[in-house]
Amino acid sequence: MRKLSKAAQQHSSGFSDPAVKAAFDRYPPPVKARLMALRQLIFGTAAGIEGVGPLQETLKWNQPSYLTSETKSGSTIRLDRMGATAQYALFFHCQTNLVATFRELYPTELSFEGNRSILLHVDDPVPEQALSHCVGLALTYHLRKRRPSTRSSQAG
């Protein structure tokens, strides 16, 4: 696992919003541990990508959520347990093409629910490399949409 920046390490345990900490504290220990690891992965990935800037950690729909409020570079990422199961998930805005992109990139490495989430199970190893790539794509979603196409149009 790569070394985290000072900002990412700061977020590995401390919470700036007590409501977010309370949300994590409500999860059963095995799920909480996995969601905390995802939280660290999100902050660590963000810290390593130029143009993302600091993340805002808040609650949306009572779920820990990560926004690029300052730079507006990306799409919101939410974390939650799937009902009363041992599954947990990263949720993405369903009106983006993010999950479709993830499905094309990682058809066998990751499991998906519709066009809104990556599903994980507490008993399975965490596919850190794939998840970090997906998180990076979500955190830069709007940057990529703003960029002019690099493909040149060819007549003929």
Nearest to 69 by CA among 58, 83, 81: 58
pLDDT score, position 9: 41
pLDDT score, position 13: 62
In the CATH hierarchy, which top-level class contains the domain 17-144?
Answer: alpha beta
Q: pTM (2 decimals)?
A: 0.85
36: which 2 tokens? Answer: 């905390």
pLDDT score, position 144: 81
For the chain, 156 residues long, the average pLDDT of each consecutive 10-residue run is: 42 82 97 97 97 96 96 97 95 96 97 97 96 98 71 40
Using CA atoms, how far residue 8 sits from 11, 114, 117, in Å, is 5, 30, 24
pLDDT score, position 59: 97
Cβ contacts of residue 128 below 8 Å, gap of 6+?
A: 1, 41
Give residue limits of the domains in the chain.
Answer: 17-144
